[in-house]
Amino acid sequence: MELNEFFDYKNKLIEDLLTNPEIVKLLNNECVIDEGQNSQKLIYTQIFPYEYVPDVVDDASTFICFDMDIQKTMNKTFLMPALYIWVFTHKKCLRLQNGNGIRTDKICSEIAKTIDGSRYYGLGELNLTSVKRFAPIENYQGRVMTFQAQDFNRLSPSGKPIPSNRKHG
CB atoms within 10 A of CB 162: 8
Query: What's the structural domain count of the chain?
Result: 1
Residue 38 in domain: no
Average pLDDT rounded to a whole number, residues 148-167: 63
DSSP string, 69-137: EEEEE-SSSEEEEEEEEEEEEEGGGSB-TTSSSBHHHHHHHHHHHHHTT-SSSSEEEEEEEEEEEE--S
pLDDT, position 8 = 82
d(CA 151, CA 77): 8
Residue 164 in domain: no
Residue 163 in domain: no
Per the CB < 8 A criterion, the answer to whether 147 and 115 are in contact is: yes
Residue 158 in domain: no
Residue 96 in domain: yes
pLDDT class of 70 with cuts at 50, 70, 90: confident
Worst-scoring range by mean pLDDT, 2-6, 31-35, 39-43, 96-100?
31-35
Residue 167 in domain: no
Sequence-ordered list of residues with C-beta below 8 angstroms from that of 161, at least 6 positions apart, any chain: none
The helix-helix angle for 5-18 and 103-115 (nearest 10°) equals 120
d(CA 33, CA 38): 9
Residue 166 in domain: no
What CATH number did the domain enclosing 17 receive?
A: 3.30.2000
pLDDT class of 168 with cuts at 50, 70, 90: low
State what percent of residues in the chain have pLDDT above 90: 42
Worst-scoring range by mean pLDDT, 99-103, 140-144, 155-159?
155-159
pTM of the prediction?
0.82
Residue 99 in domain: yes
Instruction: Give the domain extent around 20.
Output: 5-31+45-51+60-152
